[in-house]
Amino acid sequence: MKDSPIMCTFMIVDATFNVVNLLFNHALVFDNLIMTGKNALNAGLLLATLASGAAFLSASPDAPAASVKALSAAAMLSGLLGAHLTASIGGADMPVVITLLNSYSGYALAAEGFTLNNDLLTTVGALIGSSGAILSYIMCKAMNRSLANVILGGYGNSKPHVSAAPFSLTQNVNNGSDGSSDGFLPRIHKEIDPEGAASLLLEAKSVVIVPGFGMAVANAQHIVALLVKELQKAGVKVRFGIHPVAGRMPGQMNVLLAEAGVPYDIVYEMEEINPELQHTDVALVIGANDTVNSAALEDPSSVIAGMPVIEVWNAKTVIFMKRSMGVGYAGADNPVFYKPCTSMLLGDAKQKSEALLSAIKQAMSIKS
């Protein structure tokens, strides 16, 4: 019974983590909770939970009511702690939260094994807990972050970050002979329609598709798979580039593509696809933003500085398929939107993918 507070704490924290994470994943909650002194609140909830656990352990066997109250208080405080911790984490960090949940469930199972004196539960719980912790470390390393930075306050916890020049959303305009600045003009992006994008894709010899959470939300993976088949029929070499933290959970893009019937041998990890982008005619980005943001490598002042990204801007042409020109979950502007080689195909990923597929089929029928 002495392990009951530990088991209860991890189980309740894990449960509330999952509930809040579910709300994020189903787009029922879009913004993370921003509160002044949130870390102090988390520390207070943790101390109160520990105090309730201590009260449970020190309660007299002759006073079961006190034990129940202490354990109930620990459960309630653990629930609040789990919900508040997860709600304060930005959407870009959800992959790390998922792996952390796996770890917590293992710790709860190990504590239950100690409580029931069951070696099997303890062993399995230890394996789950350690594997979740290792995966959390790997995910944090892929984002160039520390676990403490993710849990205590990471991306998306501040106002959108405007990168420093020359990567800002405005460019300096000099009209004077002395080089003085007369003001700023907004950096202009270039848009393209599905027919124009279809033409670029069919003229290309090699295409790399980089999916992101926008594709998952729009449930566009099946249309994208059909798009790949049509391009392959036209003799275009098509590959996918997957970022380790693309989507809201580890491996989400791989699962979605496998579900849609995309051959695994054309799906490449970030480290494998980056060297190939220099020899790629078209990079098609579907619903991704932070994972293809050049500011991570080019702007030391960016909130995502140092984060490994897929370097789509090295391709001859880049087509972004996304809902709007807005920033990603990290709140960082993406300079790739404004590069001369980039065209924006704005709108819902599924609708635009369908329009693009239709345009490709029409263009191929005309050629034949």
pLDDT of residue 166: 42
pLDDT of residue 127: 95
**pLDDT tens for each residue of 110-158:** 888 888 889 999 999 999 999 989 888 888 877 777 888 777 765 544 4
DSSP-derived 3-state class of residue 164: coil
Q: Which residues pair with 172 in a beta bridge?
A: 184
18 and 136 belong to one structural domain: yes
pLDDT of residue 210: 97
What's the maximum distance between 2 C-alpha atoms anywhere in the chain? 90
148 and 200 belong to one structural domain: no
Does residue 106 sit within a domain?
yes
Which of 152, 179, 203 marks a domain boundary? 152
Does residue 177 sit within a domain?
no
Q: How far is CA 270 from CA 94, 214, 263, 349, in A?
A: 19, 18, 17, 22
132 and 221 belong to one structural domain: no
Task: Quote the domain boundaries for residue 242.
Answer: 194-367
225 and 355 belong to one structural domain: yes
What's the CATH number where 339 sits? 3.40.50.1220
**pLDDT tens for each residue of 308-333:** 999 999 999 999 999 888 877 767 78
pLDDT of residue 327: 78
102 and 213 belong to one structural domain: no
Question: Annotated catalytic residue: which of 290, 299, 333, 348?
Answer: 290
Which of 92, 122, 152 marks a domain boundary? 152
pLDDT of residue 183: 43
pLDDT of residue 23: 66
pLDDT of residue 135: 84
Strand order in the sheet with 206-211: 267-269, 237-242, 206-211, 282-286, 317-322, 342-346
Which of 152, 181, 202 marks a domain boundary? 152
Q: Which residues pair with 186 in a beta bridge?
A: 170
Does residue 171 sit within a domain?
no
Neighbours of 332 (CB within 10 A): 27
224 and 129 belong to one structural domain: no
Does residue 161 sit within a domain?
no
214 and 353 belong to one structural domain: yes
206 and 83 belong to one structural domain: no
198 and 337 belong to one structural domain: yes
H helix runs in 176-294, sequence order: 194-203, 213-218, 221-233, 252-259, 270-273
236 and 148 belong to one structural domain: no
How far is residue 24's CA from residue 94's CA, in Å, rounded to a whole number? 8
Neighbours of 299 (CB within 10 A): 22
40 and 110 belong to one structural domain: yes
Query: Number of folded domains in the chain?
Result: 2
Question: Does pTM surpass 0.75?
Answer: no
> Does the annotation count 193 as an active-site position?
no
202 and 345 belong to one structural domain: yes
8 Å CB contact between 220 and 353: yes
How far is residue 196's CA from residue 198's CA, in Å, rounded to a whole number? 5
pLDDT of residue 363: 92
User: HSE of 89 in the Cβ direction (CA atoms, 13 Å)?
Assistant: 30
Nearest-CA neighbor of 1 among 49, 59, 40? 59
Does residue 77 sit within a domain?
yes
Does residue 179 sit within a domain?
no
User: With a cut of 70, which residues of the chain have pLDDT below it?
Assistant: 1-14, 17-18, 20-35, 90-92, 153-186, 330, 368
8 Å CB contact between 341 and 313: yes
**pLDDT tens for each residue of 60-75:** 778 788 888 888 888 8
Does residue 234 sit within a domain?
yes
